[in-house]
Structure 1
């Protein structure tokens, strides 16, 4: 089973749009949208395993200019 998660992103002032566009181009990202509230961008991503999620997605997200903080929320299944 694959690993899916929402990543909540805080950005520098005025950077939400460019961050959303940059993270949406990362392989495995299925959604990236600007939002209002304590976070500026919400994205959803999927990878084959937690190791791949960290290596293929999180490491690239953390390299995007304008991001100040992220919170990863894995999706759980019942």
Structure 2
């Protein structure tokens, strides 16, 4: 079992979500995610393999999972996501 270092952020789990969007929609996607997800600490439209990077901090993995399914992956302009969890920092 993987143990996540909960010393970071007073027990919060941090996740980096790499997002591929439909062409020309990354800024709109970032704005929508920022407005709907209070756990977002950083969200940027970027150039490269992915179109946006979102950082969220939540109390547990279940909360991160809920955010991913409830908001992020339901966005019609999102093609693909890849999530990386911080193990220690």
**Same fold (TM > 0.5):** yes
Give the TM-score of the pair, scaled to structure 2: 0.81
**Larger Rg, first or second structure (1 or 2):** 2
TM superposition shift of 1:65: 2.5
Give the TM-score of the pair, scaled to structure 1: 0.91
TM superposition shift of 1:33: 0.4
More strand by share: 1
TM superposition shift of 1:4: 0.6
Asked if 1:62 corresponds to 2:73, the answer is yes
- Moved >4 Å (runs of 4+): none
Aligned residue for 2:63, secondary structure, equals helix
What 5-or-longer segments of structure 2 have no aligned partner?
A: 1-10
Question: How many aligned residue pairs are there?
Answer: 77
What 5-or-longer segments of structure 1 have no aligned partner?
A: none
